[in-house]
Amino acid sequence: MKFLRYLMLLLPGLSVGHPAIAQTLQIEGVEETGIVYRNIHSYSAFIHTQGFGMNYRRGKMRTGFRSASYEVSLLNMRHPKEIRSVNPFSDNSGGYVYGKMNSLVALRFGYGIQQVIHPKGDKGGVETGFSLFGGASLGLVKPVYLTIFYFDDQFGIREKTERYDPDSHYPDNISGRAPFTKGLNEISLSPGAYGAFAFSFEFGKAQKNLRMIETGVAADIFARSIPMMAFNPNRQLFVTLFISIRYGKLWNRND
């Protein structure tokens, strides 16, 4: 009987002295472990209908069913009419995209929320939710350089690297694309904004680890139209569908 009395006196002290145990008692029956983790960070790789990219998020759990995060993303944008070509008379095996005037990479900085729609029933279940993010999108526009054939009576055939000019460069005198580093010093910036909406499916078994698939739609709009392909209208708005695989971790400061 004395042992039971000491045990009854000890239990309240344990729940106060250890935050994880205290949270377990407070929300018993809601989650299997009951621990509410406040901090969250995650990263993902994704493909979209005009290219691919990567993303990083850092935020906090506002409630057991909602988090708010900052994010940064880096992705490329391709024109829908890009077709890779190869000159059969050239040793340049890399090929090129005929008509491509500029390459576009977008750097996004945003803020948003992730909301749980249906939580996991138990370990091994799938948690569904949605996310909504938005913020600034900075377009990095790099001109395209090509290697061009020139025919000289004295020296024969020679090659020269030039910025693509639709008025003087044609499939019969284009050898291939120039090295990627060519034109980096000519990158121009185009500020803009973006918004993204996605449905998420979280299937991680451990409560502290995040394993998620996201799929949704995003839109980037820039302050000026960007010339990407010759003989096509310049583009200012880019709407894409995407799917991503996301990994992350949840923790408390005292973990």
Share of the chain above pLDDT 90, in %: 68
Rounded to whole angstroms, the maximal C-alpha distance in the chain is 111
pLDDT tens digits, 101-123: 999 999 999 999 999 999 886 66
Least confident residue range of 19-23, 175-179, 246-250: 19-23
Band (pLDDT 50/70/90 cuts) for residue 124 is: low
pLDDT at residue 7 tops 70: no
Name the segment(s) of the chain with CATH classification 2.40.160.20. Answer: 40-144+181-251
> Which residues, 6+ apart, have CB-to-CB distance to 93 below 8 Å?
86, 176
Taking the C-alpha atoms of residue 9 and residue 20, their distance in angstroms, rounded to an integer, is 19
Specify the pairing of strand 127-143 against strand 156-163.
Answer: unpaired
3-state secondary structure of 30: coil
**Residue that is written with structure tokens 């000519």 in the block:** 186
Specify the pairing of strand 156-163 against strand 188-202.
Answer: unpaired
The DSSP 8-state label assigned to residue 91 in this structure reads S
pLDDT tens digits, 14-59: 333 333 333 333 333 334 445 678 999 999 999 999 999 999 999 9
- CATH hierarchy code of domain 40-144+181-251: 2.40.160.20
